[in-house]
Amino acid sequence: MTPNLREIAKMIDHSLLHPMMADAEVRDGCLLARRYDVATVCVKPYSVPDAAALLAGSGVGVCAVAGFPHGNSTTAIKVQEAEQAIADGAVEIDVVINIGKALGGQWAYVETELRAVNDACTARGALLKVIFENDYLQVDHIIRLCEISTAVGVAFVKTSTGYGFVKGPDGSYNYRGATDDHLRLMRAHCPASVGIKAAGGVRTLDDLLRVRALGVTRVGATATEAILEEAARRGIA
């Protein structure tokens, strides 16, 4: 069944993470998110206080990233980033796993780190989303990360940062983001209590509806206005 316009909007984390984005653009993005009543704006840590002020009373939350975009910070720093962002007004945190540890099979490290960040979030009333960066991973890695995330009790697992470019043999950089196969895999290996967030490549209303049919409950998008205006043009009430 086609969702209504509010249900579509509340699937969207409006992404304001581009490294070249100036403060005025972040402000405009927050006002756009407020106008369309999306789920959250997803911002860099230093933008959290301004975003929280702009969105106060709106029903649009502030989501901050931690260990972004490559996941290489120490566990202590990721925890501190989460705690500071929540103190500044964030209600959701998107943290990047330690990708090298996952690729090296050091799953105890990965689980300990995610548990520490999740505990910091839940103790402060915030939700944690775990970014896998699937472009760097194989199927067995993704399955194990789903299992760990479930055991830890996180709110969401997320496909990508949007900035995980992979260098090919010819020296060029490519990026896939959220693929249907990976979304099916993540949904199959997470219980209903763990949401699935698709990030990277969800640019149209049809993209959003397609991934929703695969079990996705949240999307990261920069094309928020285009998606919701298209929904309105199609008469979605």
Helix (H, G, I), strand (E, B) or coil at 197: strand
Q: What is the CATH number of the domain that holds 162?
A: 3.20.20.70
Per-residue pLDDT of 160-179, as tens digits, reads 998 877 677 787 777 778 99
**Could you write out the DSSP letters of every residue in 76-122?**
HHHHHHHHHHHHHT-SEEEEE--HHHHHTT-HHHHHHHHHHHHHHHH
Q: And the tokens for 120?
A: 């910091």
Mean pLDDT of the 187-195 span: 98
Sign of CA dihedral 102, 106, 108, 110: negative
Cβ neighbours of residue 150 closer than 8 Å, sequence gap 6 or more:
189, 190, 191, 193, 194
115 close to 152: Cβ distance less than 8 angstroms = yes
Q: Which domain holds residue 21?
A: 5-233
Per-residue pLDDT of 96-133, as tens digits, reads 999 999 999 999 999 999 999 999 999 999 999 999 99
Sign of CA dihedral 160, 153, 92, 123: negative
Please tell me the least confidently modeled range out of 1-5, 40-44, 162-166: 162-166
pLDDT at 224: 98
**Could you write out the DSSP letters of every residue in 118-176?**
HHHHHTTT-EEEEE--GGG--HHHHHHHHHHHHHHT-SEEES--S---EE-TTS-EE--
Mean pLDDT for the chain?
96
The band of 2, judged by pLDDT with boundaries at 50, 70 and 90, is confident
As annotated, the active-site residues are 94, 158, 197
Of 205, 217, 140, 136, which Cα lies nearest the Cα of 177? 136
Number of domains in the chain: 1
